[in-house]
Amino acid sequence: MIPCSRCDTLLALEAVNTAALATCSGCGATLQADVYPALFNGLASGHTGDRLQSQQEAGCFCHPDKRAQRPCSACGRFMCALCDIELEGRHLCPACLEKGKSSEQIAQLVDRRVCYDQIALLVAFLPIFMVWVTIVSAPIALYLSIRYWNTPTSILPRTRIRFVLAIVLSALQMFVWAMVFLT
Protein backbone atom coordinates (compact mmCIF):
# COMPACT_ATOMS: atom_id res chain seq x y z
CA MET A 1 0.00 0.00 0.00
CA ILE A 2 1.20 3.49 -0.88
CA PRO A 3 -0.28 6.69 0.61
CA CYS A 4 -1.61 9.38 -1.72
CA SER A 5 0.68 12.41 -1.71
CA ARG A 6 -2.27 14.78 -1.28
CA CYS A 7 -4.73 13.12 1.14
CA ASP A 8 -2.77 10.12 2.55
CA THR A 9 -5.38 7.60 1.41
CA LEU A 10 -3.76 4.18 1.08
CA LEU A 11 -3.72 2.99 -2.52
CA ALA A 12 -3.01 -0.49 -3.84
CA LEU A 13 0.52 -0.82 -5.17
CA GLU A 14 -0.65 -2.49 -8.39
CA ALA A 15 -2.97 0.43 -9.22
CA VAL A 16 -0.27 3.06 -8.82
CA ASN A 17 2.80 1.28 -10.21
CA THR A 18 1.76 1.43 -13.87
CA ALA A 19 2.84 3.40 -16.91
CA ALA A 20 -0.49 5.31 -16.93
CA LEU A 21 -1.60 7.81 -14.32
CA ALA A 22 -3.83 6.47 -11.52
CA THR A 23 -6.66 8.28 -9.77
CA CYS A 24 -6.85 8.46 -5.97
CA SER A 25 -10.11 7.07 -4.61
CA GLY A 26 -10.09 9.57 -1.73
CA CYS A 27 -9.44 12.95 -3.36
CA GLY A 28 -9.51 12.24 -7.11
CA ALA A 29 -5.92 13.40 -7.66
CA THR A 30 -3.98 11.81 -10.51
CA LEU A 31 -0.69 10.31 -9.56
CA GLN A 32 1.92 7.81 -10.58
CA ALA A 33 4.55 6.08 -8.48
CA ASP A 34 7.60 4.36 -9.84
CA VAL A 35 8.31 1.64 -7.33
CA TYR A 36 11.70 -0.04 -7.27
CA PRO A 37 11.83 -3.84 -6.99
CA ALA A 38 13.52 -3.52 -3.59
CA LEU A 39 10.14 -2.61 -2.10
CA PHE A 40 8.88 -6.11 -2.81
CA ASN A 41 11.90 -7.75 -1.15
CA GLY A 42 11.62 -8.32 2.55
CA LEU A 43 14.12 -6.91 4.99
CA ALA A 44 17.20 -9.03 5.50
CA SER A 45 17.25 -10.57 8.93
CA GLY A 46 20.17 -9.72 11.16
CA HIS A 47 22.15 -12.01 13.40
CA THR A 48 21.07 -12.22 17.02
CA GLY A 49 23.97 -14.27 18.28
CA ASP A 50 23.89 -17.74 19.79
CA ARG A 51 23.62 -18.20 23.54
CA LEU A 52 26.44 -19.90 25.41
CA GLN A 53 25.78 -23.62 25.79
CA SER A 54 28.44 -24.29 28.42
CA GLN A 55 31.03 -22.50 30.52
CA GLN A 56 33.77 -23.91 28.27
CA GLU A 57 32.78 -21.70 25.32
CA ALA A 58 34.19 -18.22 24.79
CA GLY A 59 31.78 -15.35 25.28
CA CYS A 60 31.48 -12.04 23.48
CA PHE A 61 33.28 -9.07 25.03
CA CYS A 62 30.19 -6.82 24.81
CA HIS A 63 27.57 -9.55 25.36
CA PRO A 64 28.97 -12.11 27.83
CA ASP A 65 25.94 -14.39 27.45
CA LYS A 66 26.45 -14.74 23.64
CA ARG A 67 28.88 -17.19 22.05
CA ALA A 68 31.95 -15.61 20.41
CA GLN A 69 32.18 -16.15 16.65
CA ARG A 70 35.57 -14.59 15.86
CA PRO A 71 38.10 -12.10 17.22
CA CYS A 72 38.18 -8.46 16.16
CA SER A 73 40.80 -7.82 13.46
CA ALA A 74 42.00 -4.66 15.21
CA CYS A 75 41.95 -5.32 18.96
CA GLY A 76 41.50 -9.09 19.22
CA ARG A 77 38.40 -9.02 21.44
CA PHE A 78 35.99 -11.89 20.94
CA MET A 79 32.78 -10.86 19.16
CA CYS A 80 29.41 -12.54 18.78
CA ALA A 81 27.52 -12.47 15.47
CA LEU A 82 25.63 -9.39 16.68
CA CYS A 83 28.83 -7.34 17.20
CA ASP A 84 30.69 -8.55 14.11
CA ILE A 85 30.97 -5.79 11.49
CA GLU A 86 32.64 -6.78 8.25
CA LEU A 87 34.40 -3.98 6.36
CA GLU A 88 36.40 -4.92 3.25
CA GLY A 89 37.33 -8.35 4.54
CA ARG A 90 38.17 -7.21 8.06
CA HIS A 91 35.95 -8.09 11.02
CA LEU A 92 35.72 -5.21 13.50
CA CYS A 93 33.99 -4.75 16.82
CA PRO A 94 31.80 -1.64 17.29
CA ALA A 95 34.41 0.06 19.51
CA CYS A 96 37.18 -0.33 16.91
CA LEU A 97 34.87 0.82 14.15
CA GLU A 98 34.01 3.98 16.09
CA LYS A 99 37.64 4.55 17.01
CA GLY A 100 38.70 4.13 13.39
CA LYS A 101 36.06 6.59 12.23
CA SER A 102 36.86 9.25 14.83
CA SER A 103 40.63 9.02 14.32
CA GLU A 104 40.25 8.75 10.51
CA GLN A 105 42.29 5.52 10.46
CA ILE A 106 39.68 3.71 8.36
CA ALA A 107 39.69 5.56 5.04
CA GLN A 108 36.34 4.11 3.93
CA LEU A 109 34.56 5.86 6.83
CA VAL A 110 36.07 9.34 6.38
CA ASP A 111 33.33 11.66 5.17
CA ARG A 112 35.12 15.00 5.45
CA ARG A 113 38.66 16.30 5.62
CA VAL A 114 40.32 19.69 6.11
CA CYS A 115 42.05 20.80 2.91
CA TYR A 116 45.19 22.40 4.34
CA ASP A 117 46.62 22.87 0.85
CA GLN A 118 43.71 25.13 -0.04
CA ILE A 119 44.07 27.08 3.23
CA ALA A 120 47.82 27.57 2.72
CA LEU A 121 47.30 28.83 -0.83
CA LEU A 122 44.59 31.26 0.28
CA VAL A 123 46.74 32.55 3.15
CA ALA A 124 49.59 33.11 0.69
CA PHE A 125 47.53 34.64 -2.13
CA LEU A 126 44.72 36.77 -0.68
CA PRO A 127 46.88 39.16 1.41
CA ILE A 128 48.75 40.27 -1.73
CA PHE A 129 46.02 42.86 -2.20
CA MET A 130 46.76 44.21 1.30
CA VAL A 131 50.54 44.47 1.09
CA TRP A 132 51.31 45.04 4.77
CA VAL A 133 49.48 41.87 5.82
CA THR A 134 51.90 39.72 3.81
CA ILE A 135 54.59 40.37 6.40
CA VAL A 136 52.63 38.00 8.69
CA SER A 137 50.72 35.84 6.23
CA ALA A 138 53.74 34.70 4.19
CA PRO A 139 55.44 32.89 7.11
CA ILE A 140 52.07 31.44 8.17
CA ALA A 141 51.45 30.09 4.65
CA LEU A 142 54.96 28.63 4.54
CA TYR A 143 54.44 26.99 7.93
CA LEU A 144 51.07 25.53 6.92
CA SER A 145 52.52 24.15 3.69
CA ILE A 146 55.46 22.46 5.38
CA ARG A 147 53.57 21.29 8.48
CA TYR A 148 50.67 19.66 6.60
CA TRP A 149 52.57 18.42 3.53
CA ASN A 150 52.10 14.73 4.45
CA THR A 151 48.45 14.94 5.54
CA PRO A 152 45.85 13.60 3.11
CA THR A 153 44.80 16.49 0.91
CA SER A 154 41.21 15.54 0.22
CA ILE A 155 38.78 12.67 0.15
CA LEU A 156 39.07 12.87 -3.62
CA PRO A 157 42.54 12.31 -5.05
CA ARG A 158 44.44 15.48 -5.91
CA THR A 159 48.03 16.62 -6.20
CA ARG A 160 50.12 18.76 -3.88
CA ILE A 161 50.37 21.60 -6.41
CA ARG A 162 48.55 23.98 -4.06
CA PHE A 163 51.20 23.38 -1.41
CA VAL A 164 53.93 24.05 -3.98
CA LEU A 165 52.26 27.27 -5.15
CA ALA A 166 51.79 28.43 -1.55
CA ILE A 167 55.46 27.75 -0.75
CA VAL A 168 56.67 29.58 -3.86
CA LEU A 169 54.33 32.53 -3.32
CA SER A 170 55.12 32.91 0.38
CA ALA A 171 58.88 32.52 -0.23
CA LEU A 172 58.67 35.23 -2.88
CA GLN A 173 56.77 37.53 -0.50
CA MET A 174 59.31 36.92 2.28
CA PHE A 175 62.16 37.62 -0.17
CA VAL A 176 60.56 40.93 -1.17
CA TRP A 177 60.15 41.92 2.51
CA ALA A 178 63.77 40.96 3.20
CA MET A 179 64.90 43.18 0.32
CA VAL A 180 62.74 46.06 1.62
CA PHE A 181 64.21 45.83 5.12
CA LEU A 182 67.81 45.27 4.01
CA THR A 183 67.92 48.22 1.62
Residues 98 and 138 in one domain: no
For the chain, what is the mean pLDDT?
84
Instruction: Note the pLDDT of residue 71.
Output: 92
Out of 111, 128, 158, a domain closes at 111
Given a cut of 90, whether residue 136 has pLDDT beyond it is: yes
Residues 64 and 89 in one domain: yes
Residues 97 and 127 in one domain: no
Domain that holds residue 101: 45-111
Out of 111, 142, 168, a domain closes at 111
181 — pLDDT class (breaks 50, 70, 90)? very high
Given a cut of 90, whether residue 105 has pLDDT beyond it is: no
Rounded to whole angstroms, what are the CA distances from 108 to 99, 111, 155?
Answer: 13, 8, 10
Q: Mean per-residue pLDDT for 58-67?
A: 87
Residues 94 and 122 in one domain: no
pLDDT digits (tens, 9 = 90+) for 139-162: 999 999 999 999 877 777 788 999
Residues 122 and 176 in one domain: yes
DSSP per-residue letters across the chain: -EE-TTT--EE-HHHHSSSS-EE-TTT--EE-----GGGTSPPPP----PBP-STTSPBPSS-TTBBP-EE-TTT--EE-TTT-EEETTEEE-HHHHHHHHHTT-SGGG------HHHHHHHHHHGGGGSGGGHHHHHHHHHHHHHHTTTS---SS---SHHHHHHHHHHHHHHHHHHHHHH-
Out of 111, 140, 160, a domain closes at 111
Count of the separate structural domains present in the chain: 3
